[in-house]
Amino acid sequence: MKRALEGRVALVTGGSRGVGLGVVEGLLEGGATVYFTGRTATSAGLAVGIPCDHTDDDAVAAAFARIEQEAGAIDVLVNSVWGGYEAMVEDGAFTWNAPFWQQSRERWPAMFDAGVRAAFVASQLAAPAMIARKRGLIVHLSFWAAQKYLGNVLYGAAKAATDKLAADMAHELRSHGVAVAALYPGLVRTERVLEHADALDLSNSESPTFTGRAVAALASDPHVMAFTGQVLVSAALAEHYGFTDIDGKRPLPLTVDSA
């Protein structure tokens, strides 16, 4: 990909693994100066890791202050940090797909505080500088569970809230020239997915970097405001912008019916 993001500063929350790490890689390919956060984040190659617990507002504010001091204002914010996946197995039983009345209530704060609220706080901190410069991009990573039942009521509610967050932030930032979108990856070959590769059909799967290339393409687009407020799909953006995955393939875009 062309290094169209040279001189831009990006922050990926929850960027130390999984899809978040793929976004870091995609933005680095584009030439951006990339920071990422995680509970145990350490710098990796050209990206700068900042240890940060996104349920601690003071820690998040300190991370933003460090980035501004070292690199300047953030041009691209990608909210990837999420919670609730940590305890899918309880007392030896896989409970992620249990009906809502059997769900652990701890999954609610895990997803809404470490996920939805974390995206809200990070966006609050990034927005003023973007407004002052009349440019910027905020991407909330979301998923099809926002639009259809995928086996966990809490997860669906949290992702629906994420989509609404993107839509309403876009409404308020539109006049300031700042774009906001929700982005849906497809089936991503994360570390956890590959652990169960024998039981999955990965024929239309994506690398984590593919999502990063989608973000980089959006951030490089001088007409990105045309997408503000929308729910976007990584594979559909690949068709629009003409990029491929790291293996040279272009996965087919999922839809509500196929997700």
* Residues with active-site annotation: 155
Query: Which amino acid is present at 115?
Result: G
**Separation CA 73–CA 122 (nearest Å):** 13
**Separation CA 97–CA 154 (nearest Å):** 10
DSSP state of 249: -
Print burial letters for 95-116: b (CB count within 10 Å at least 16), e (below 16).
ebeeeeeebeeebeebbbebbb
**Separation CA 20–CA 93 (nearest Å):** 28
Q: What is the number of residues in the chain?
A: 259
